[in-house]
Every structure is written in structure tokens, then in C-alpha cells.
Amino acid sequence: MLPPHESGKNEQFAVLELQPQTDYFFALKVFDEDNNSSSISNVPGITSKAGNLFTDSFTRDDLGQNWTTSDSFQIVNNELVNLSSDQDLWSLAVLNNITDPIEVSFKWSPSSDTSGIDQGGIALLLDSPDLYANGYLITCRTYQNQIRLWKIVAGQNPTDPIIEIPLLTRPNPGEEFKVTTYSDRNGNHFSIFINGWEDITITDSSFFIAPARISNYYAVVVLNGSMNNNIDDFKVLTANETVQVADLNINPSDYILTQNYPNPFNFSTTIEFYLPAREKVLLEIYNTRGQTATTLLNSQMPSGYHKVTFDA
């Protein structure tokens, strides 16, 4: 994580993976290196916009122009099938008319099996809508309960996974396999869902694919040939637009003196206050007769939040 900017400058934050058409509220509280905290900010709210959902249930005779594939991909009994006789060849079926997907899913055929599920997956962040693209491939290795992240280079067979980590839930025939993706300054992130339940998130921090440098990127189904790994109900969700939240303000324009805590107290209590600008501060404690019991502060103080402890 990068350090914050110096005092007085604005910070910007991106909140990702929000669900569409959902109300969200945001607040901010900050801490310095001594663990001193600000008060909570204002709480603006937004309603996230609906994304654009594309669904292909393969209820036709041929794939049509929206798919770029080898001839081995066919529609059979309303399922996408790779009829190639080469079981060692990862073949790509590229959805070429939808760009910048944030979520891709399909359902394994009820007739699929463990070996077939092992030899299929979802490819994301492909840099072109053809069979020679670069991108990422996510597969499940069911018999070892692993999720794997691969690099696809020029559309060629991936050789060794760049990440292998345990998978909590094993996908079964007839179940949905879904991957959501987002990128930030820490890497490209892929969250895996099995039958609607989030399982795990994997991250490529090397930025093999840098989305900011690609004008459009695409989603792909990858299936080995002659395996029991047919798919159906292919879905792609794209983001609609970015929603900007109102400013979060933790620097009020007024002076603030908060309630001391704890209150009541036995031996000590803490008093917090906020200065919008550098000021001379006189902070005194009075007894029940209105007399000054002690002076805690009598000096120039910089703007910002301050904390003083009173020991009785």
C-alpha cells in the first residue's frame, strides 16, 4: 500500500466490486503514526448503477459472428462443446462483441465430469478478440481442490500456472463457475465463485496484463477437446459507469471540542479537540466552585485534531 499524501492534499479512493443497483454509504476515520484518530467524517451515500448483462444459452444451431473460435467449437444440444480430438490442446472461444467484462460465468453441463472440469476454465483480460490474444486463464483442479491462474501468451497453450492455491469448494457437474475481476495499484485480482458462493481471491501483482494500457479487453471460454466439459448459460457482466461519491470531509471548518472519555472516570480522562487553523489554545479544568483546578494547555497549536490526557 502506498503512503498517503502530505497534510493538506486531497486523497482519492476507489471502492471496487460493488453490487449493481444497491445503496451504499461511506465514512472515513483516519489515524496518524501514533494511533491518534480523527472523528468520523460525514456519511455520503450512493446507489450503484445497473451493469450490462449479456447471456448466451446456446439455443441455436451455430455460434454466429459474436464468437471467435476454431472450427472444433460447436453447439450440441444447447451446450457449447469442443469437438477437437486433441485432449492436450486448450482451445479458445472468444466473445468478441462485449468489452471490458467485470464478471464472467457459465454452468458446467450436468453430463460433465471431474476430468472434464479440470480441463476447462474462464479467461479474462484478453487484449484482443482473436485466437492469438494474451491474457489470464482461471481453472479448477478438482481432484486436488486447487484453483490455478495461468498466463495465455499469443493464444498458445499455457505451460505452468503462475499461482496454485487451495480451493475450498469443489465444482460439480451442473454447477456455476464464476470469476469477477478488478485491478488496482496492488495487482489484477480474480475472485472465484462456485455455485454462487465466493470461494477465494487470487492476485497477480506482476501486472502481466496492465488493463490501463489496453483500450478494450475480452472474455473467453477455454475448453480442451474430447472431454466431458460442455458448458451452458454463459454470462458476462460489464460495468455501466463510475459513480462519484460526494467528498468525505474529516477537516471541519469549525472548532470542535468533544466529550471527554471515559466519563465518568477515576484516575484519567482524554479530551479531544479540532482546530481549523493554527491557534493559541488555553485548555483549563475547573472545579465545582468555578475555580481553575489545573491548566492543561496554554500554547500555540497547529491545525488538526489533538488529544490531551487529564490525570486527576
Per-residue pLDDT tens digits for 238-248:
876 555 555 55
Residue 29 in grid coordinates:
476515520
Residue 292 shares a structural domain with residue 305: yes
298, β-bridge pairs = 282
Q: How confident is the model at residue 233 (pLDDT cuts 50, 70, 90)?
A: very high
Q: How many CB atoms lie within 10 A of CB 201?
A: 15
Residue 176 shares a structural domain with residue 199: yes
Residue 138 has what pLDDT? Answer: 97
Q: Does any domain span residue 245?
A: no
Q: Output the CA–CA distances (angstroms, integers) from residue 280 to 36, 105, 237, 272, 294, in the order listed.
A: 21, 61, 56, 16, 17
What domain range is 223 assigned to? 52-238
Q: Span 200-207, mean pLDDT? A: 92
Comparing 260 with 74, which gets the higher pLDDT? 74
CA dist 139 and 279 (Å) reads: 61
Residue 152 shares a structural domain with residue 216: yes
Residue 46 shares a structural domain with residue 56: no
Residue 63 shares a structural domain with residue 194: yes
Residue 90 shares a structural domain with residue 46: no
Q: Does any domain span residue 246?
A: no
Q: Does any domain span residue 114?
A: yes
Comparing 211 with 71, which gets the higher pLDDT? 71
Residue 44 shares a structural domain with residue 130: no
pLDDT tens digits, residue range 108-160? 999 999 999 999 999 999 999 999 999 999 999 887 889 999 999 999 999 89
Domain of 101, CATH number, reads 2.60.120.560
Q: Does any domain span residue 115?
A: yes
Domain count along the chain? 3
Instruction: Give yes or no for residue 1 having a pLDDT over 50.
Output: no
Residue 159 has what pLDDT? Answer: 87
Exposure string over 146-170, b if 16+ CB within 10 A, otherwise e: bbbbbbbeebeebeebeeeeebebb
